[in-house]
Chains A and B, each alone.
Chain A
Amino acid sequence: MQTQTVKIVVTGPFNSGKTELIRSVSEIDVVSTEKKITSDIEKIKESTTVAMDFGRITVDDDLILFLFGTPGQKRFDFMWEILSEGMLGFIVMVDSTRPETFKEARNILETFHASAPTPYIVAANKQDMADAWDVEDIRLALRLDPAIKILPCIARKKSTVKTVLLELLYAILDEVEGKTEN
């Protein structure tokens, strides 16, 4: 039987933790096209994703789940539509310690949801940091509908990443069963 592949997209602003989230659960080393950062503004980390991250979870002999991470910077937004095509759903990563990125996160969320009306959830990353905003405060800052789940997350911790993925899959299941209209 031909192997079927499905994909979930992980999006969010620059340095929100997309690559780390995929790395936490992928069974292969994350394939990412990273290069040294040249812009001063973006010198928060040494390298950043310029094309996409690519992780894999084999479900069984004939089903594979791919996790795609989008590049965070706005100049790569032309990639978002390409990546979103055919996805089951998407995760919007937000850096809980950087309120200056919340507006961008909301724009990314709206752009993705407008082009691909699939279920999504928001992962409030870096919740272990002292400066992290409370999850419910982030919900208000992002003007999220009460029906949209926002979950605390620490992208390098597999357990919280699992919870994020499961909650997205539950939202997808609800959609399949016709319970929600995201």
Chain B
Amino acid sequence: MALKGNLRDFSITQLLNLINLAKKSGALYIEGPSDIAQVFFRDGKLTYAQIGQQETSLLQLLLEANKISQTQFNLLTVRTNNLSDKEAGLLFVNSGYVNQSETFKVIEDYLSGIMRSLFTWLDGYFHFEQNELPPAEKIPVRLPLENLIVEGARKIQELDELRAEIPSLEMALKFVDRPGIDINHLNLSPEEWRVISYVNPKNSMQQIAQTTKLDDLQIRKVVYALLQAGLVEIIRPGGVPVALNGKVIPQMNHKEQKSLVDRLIGRIRSI
């Protein structure tokens, strides 16, 4: 089924969160204001990204990351003239210019940079093509999205937007029962840790903000990041909501309630 829309309505951060939680594989295409981005995922992890038609070669990335010198770059440019990134990567590792983990780290940093620039795209049509693979000549990485999501969420500066996301600070927070992320891979800021330490169904966000000396914008930013990371959820203060007086229909006893609902079910079935 379609996974498409506009970034005005569904932000990059929300999209990454969805792709991460659903462990989707495929390509996300975004038609931004001045460019087109292609981002590939496998099992909810980032494998490759590109903005526009300009591709940056592995050799160029290694130079920019100071992993090779300009002289080495000039020399290797000639040697890798007709090689794909995959072939060139093997050559660099086998020749001892870089090791494998350094190579992956350089690529991951580059892809993270692309994703950071995508966070500034607030408008643009997007669509997701299930199971579409990245270009075969590129070195695929498996970059977890959690930190990118949190970072992207941090970039949302507008209080109005945050107010739309978190309308009331009178609500409380609780940790989700099954976090959709690997917590070991998550880096939290000091502010986020401070808020985390007060997450409890009994504490409203307003109370947490007062205790941690955060203003409305700051607490909303932190909570939004934690929500997007799938760490917490918003609930009513006091804990899990329970029906009034423990009864669906307060005036009736338990047996009468059950009988009433059974009759309703029977009637709906007969429609």
Known: A117-B242, A117-B244. Is A131-B2 also a contact (CB below 8 A)?
yes
CA distance A58 to B8 in the complex (A): 44
CA distance A39 to B267 in the complex (A): 40
Q: Which residues of B contact A63 (CB under 8 A)?
A: 260, 263-264
> A100 touching B6 by the CB < 8 A rule?
yes
In the complex, residue of chain A having the shortest beta-carbon distance to the beta carbon of B227: A143
In the complex, residue of chain B having the shortest beta-carbon distance to the beta carbon of A141: B18
CA distance A73 to B242 in the complex (A): 28
> B1 touching A169 by the CB < 8 A rule?
no
Q: Does B5 contact A (CB under 8 A)?
A: yes
Interface string of A68-96 (1 = CB under 8 A from B): 00000000000000000000110000000
> A118 touching B248 by the CB < 8 A rule?
yes
CA distance A110 to B14 in the complex (A): 18
Residues 100-118 of A contacting B (Cβ, < 8 Å):
100-103, 107, 110-111, 113-114, 117-118
> B261 touching A176 by the CB < 8 A rule?
yes
In the complex, residue of chain B having the shortest beta-carbon distance to the beta carbon of A8: B264
Residues 241-271 of B contacting A (Cβ, < 8 Å):
241-244, 247-249, 254, 257-258, 260-269, 271
Residues 104-156 of A contacting B (Cβ, < 8 Å):
107, 110-111, 113-114, 117-119, 130-134, 136-137, 140-141, 143, 145-146
In the complex, residue of chain B having the shortest beta-carbon distance to the beta carbon of A177: B258
In the complex, residue of chain B having the shortest beta-carbon distance to the beta carbon of A147: B177
- Picked from A65, A141, A143, the residue with its CB within 8 Å of the CB of B10 is A141
> B178 touching A133 by the CB < 8 A rule?
no
Q: Which residues of B contact A119 (CB under 8 A)?
A: 243, 248
- Picked from A4, A111, A140, the residue with its CB within 8 Å of the CB of B22 is A140
Q: Which residues of A contact B14 (CB under 8 A)?
A: 141
CA distance A77 to B249 in the complex (A): 24
> B10 touching A102 by the CB < 8 A rule?
yes
Q: Which residues of A contact B249 (CB under 8 A)?
A: 6, 88
Q: Does A57 contact B (CB under 8 A)?
A: yes
Known: A117-B236, A118-B248. Is A181-B242 also a contact (CB below 8 A)?
yes
CA distance A158 to B6 in the complex (A): 32
- Picked from B2, B165, B262, the residue with its CB within 8 Å of the CB of A173 is B262
Q: Which residues of A contact B1 (CB under 8 A)?
A: 132-134, 137
Residues 92-127 of B contacting A (Cβ, < 8 Å):
none
Q: Which residues of A contact B203 (CB under 8 A)?
A: none
In the complex, residue of chain B having the shortest beta-carbon distance to the beta carbon of A27: B271
Q: Which residues of B contact A158 (CB under 8 A)?
A: 271
Interface string of A1-36 (1 = CB under 8 A from B): 000101000000000000000000100000000000
CA distance A89 to B261 in the complex (A): 11
Known: A102-B10, A145-B233, A172-B248. Is A140-B243 also a contact (CB below 8 A)?
no
> B265 touching A99 by the CB < 8 A rule?
no
Interchain residue pairs with CB less than 8 A apart (20): A25-B271, A60-B263, A60-B267, A63-B260, A63-B263, A63-B264, A65-B267, A99-B9, A110-B234, A114-B171, A117-B242, A133-B2, A137-B1, A137-B18, A140-B21, A162-B271, A170-B265, A173-B262, A176-B257, A181-B242
9 smallest CB-CB distances across A and B, nearest first, come from: A100-B9, A117-B241, A99-B5, A134-B1, A59-B267, A140-B18, A176-B257, A99-B10, A173-B261
List the interface of chain A (C-beta within 8 A of B): 4, 6, 25, 57-60, 63, 65, 88-89, 97, 99-103, 107, 110-111, 113-114, 117-119, 130-134, 136-137, 140-141, 143, 145-146, 158, 162, 165-166, 169-170, 172-173, 175-177, 181-182
- Contacts A140-B21, A166-B265 aside, 14 further interface pairs with beta carbons under 8 A come to A63-B264, A99-B9, A110-B171, A117-B243, A118-B248, A132-B1, A137-B22, A141-B10, A143-B233, A145-B233, A169-B268, A172-B261, A176-B254, A181-B240
